[in-house]
A and B are shown apart, each in its own frame.
Chain A
């Protein structure tokens, strides 16, 4: 409940309004897909997915969309913030006997970073695919990581609007999926991005006969442990029963408008 103080050690600007913060936080234990509540002094607290971590550091990627997140994006090395976490249910463990398909849209790549890094370590590109969609080439994030991941995964990058310099695909991620030559019945899909993208992706995956689908949701989260009710999604709380849900578990509630 009470935030601990952590220091910013590194700030990396990903694009015009997205920043990756490295926080000094030794021995932080969490699972891919979980989130922390980050407190910017004088501004407030917001839920931010954990992008990755190691023995000494914790990494968060933040888009400045409101006063608190913008405050976090304006931090410099040496600044301190409050941290509560980790919270929530994360991604399922990687299954080396299946094809692992990661579908990320925009900032949705951040909560999938740790899982992608795990897949990269396995170095089985025939079983590991990343489809990453963005609005334009300028909005792409994690360029150095994408280049590194390209060595051990099949990476497909697509933008909504391209130009002649852009060498990737142009079109929504939905258009890339049917082109993948993978055993859909033995594929596990990890999907994170705008909710409307996730909804249509899930439908397309089912049509392609992929039944094993996990999605990461976002709602207004305040307490982060299922008490305040702000993040309620049907009978579940996104902070506690999510943010990662199996599609089968959430499908029925997801079809209810305004839920």
Chain B
């Protein structure tokens, strides 16, 4: 059975991180498994964790009063879920429901924030990788917002 460090190392988003930093990060992580239809987290809950998805699918939803929830994104293997752990007030901004049985590594946000503060080189390397993910998601989200299929 693979260790958390080995699982982290396999994921593209963290490739190139020094081995000692992989170990440092993995100290805050644990393997989890969730059934379909389970909520990983809900809007307003404390953002204690972020997740590195290994298998399965998660749907991100926003509750719309008087209407069914709007699903605005799905995430799958190799993707990172959860950013609210990075910034106060550390609360999840939306709901995340498991669509297909999920295998993931859950990282303790407070633990990792502490390690980033204590070792800023590690923190910078991590933030560089997260920033690239933000950038790509924002690019795709902007196209979603444009409603390009609607015709202009």
Given contacts A194-B148, A196-B148, are A170 and B72 in contact (CB under 8 A)? yes
Let me know if B76 is at the binding interface, CB within 8 A: yes
Find out whether the CB atom of A164 lies under 8 angstroms from the CB atom of B149: no
Find out whether the CB atom of A139 lies under 8 angstroms from the CB atom of B73: no
Q: Is the interface of B mostly helix, strand, loop or mixed?
A: mixed
* Residues of A with C-beta under 8 A to B74: 158, 162, 168-171
- CB closest residue in chain B, given A133: B149
Let me know if A134 is at the binding interface, CB within 8 A: yes
Bound Cα distance from A167 to B76, whole angstroms: 13
Q: Which size bracket describes the interface of B in this complex?
A: 20 to 34
Bound Cα distance from A241 to B141, whole angstroms: 33
* Residues of B with C-beta under 8 A to A179: 76-79
* Residues of A with C-beta under 8 A to B97: 164
Find out whether the CB atom of B149 lies under 8 angstroms from the CB atom of A162: no
Find out whether the CB atom of B73 lies under 8 angstroms from the CB atom of A175: yes
Bound Cα distance from A205 to B68, whole angstroms: 35
Find out whether the CB atom of B151 lies under 8 angstroms from the CB atom of A172: no
Shortest Cβ distance from residue A139 to the other chain B in the assembled complex, whole angstroms: 7
Indicate the member of B61, B79, B139, B149 with the most A CB atoms within 10 Å.
B149
Shortest Cβ distance from residue B149 to the other chain A in the assembled complex, whole angstroms: 4
Contact of B146 among A169, A171, A196 (CB under 8 A): A196
* Residues of A with C-beta under 8 A to B150: 135
Bound Cα distance from A149 to B69, whole angstroms: 30
Given contacts A171-B144, A175-B140, are A65 and B151 in contact (CB under 8 A)? yes
Shortest Cβ distance from residue B37 to the other chain A in the assembled complex, whole angstroms: 9
Let me know if A166 is at the binding interface, CB within 8 A: yes
Contact of B68 among A133, A135, A164, A196 (CB under 8 A): A164
Let me know if A200 is at the binding interface, CB within 8 A: yes
Task: Annotate B73-106 by CB proximity to A: 1 below 8 A, 0 otherwise.
Answer: 1101111000000000000000001010000000
Let me know if A147 is at the binding interface, CB within 8 A: no
- CB closest residue in chain B, given A161: B70
* Residues of B with C-beta under 8 A to A196: 143, 146, 148
Bound Cα distance from A169 to B76, whole angstroms: 9
Let me know if A197 is at the binding interface, CB within 8 A: yes
Let me know if A174 is at the binding interface, CB within 8 A: yes
* Residues of B with C-beta under 8 A to A92: none
Shortest Cβ distance from residue A142 to the other chain B in the assembled complex, whole angstroms: 15
Bound Cα distance from A200 to B141, whole angstroms: 12
Contact of A170 among B73, B137, B139, B148 (CB under 8 A): B73
Bound Cα distance from A214 to B52, whole angstroms: 34
Bound Cα distance from A8 to B97, whole angstroms: 47
Find out whether the CB atom of A171 lies under 8 angstroms from the CB atom of B140: yes
Shortest Cβ distance from residue A211 to the other chain B in the assembled complex, whole angstroms: 20
Let me know if A178 is at the binding interface, CB within 8 A: yes
Contact of B141 among A163, A172, A197 (CB under 8 A): A172
Find out whether the CB atom of A105 lies under 8 angstroms from the CB atom of B148: yes
Let me know if B20 is at the binding interface, CB within 8 A: no
Given contacts A161-B72, A164-B71, A166-B71, are A197 and B148 in contact (CB under 8 A)? yes
* Residues of A with C-beta under 8 A to B72: 161-162, 170-171
Let me know if A95 is at the binding interface, CB within 8 A: no
Let me know if B59 is at the binding interface, CB within 8 A: yes
Find out whether the CB atom of A161 lies under 8 angstroms from the CB atom of B71: yes
- Please report B residues at the A interface, Cβ cutoff 8 Å: 59-61, 68-74, 76-79, 97, 99, 136-137, 139-141, 143-144, 146-151
Q: List 28 A-B contacts (CB under 8 A).
A: A63-B151, A106-B148, A135-B149, A135-B150, A160-B144, A161-B71, A161-B144, A162-B72, A163-B68, A163-B69, A164-B59, A167-B99, A168-B74, A170-B72, A170-B74, A171-B72, A171-B74, A171-B144, A172-B140, A172-B141, A172-B143, A174-B139, A175-B73, A179-B77, A179-B78, A179-B79, A196-B148, A197-B143
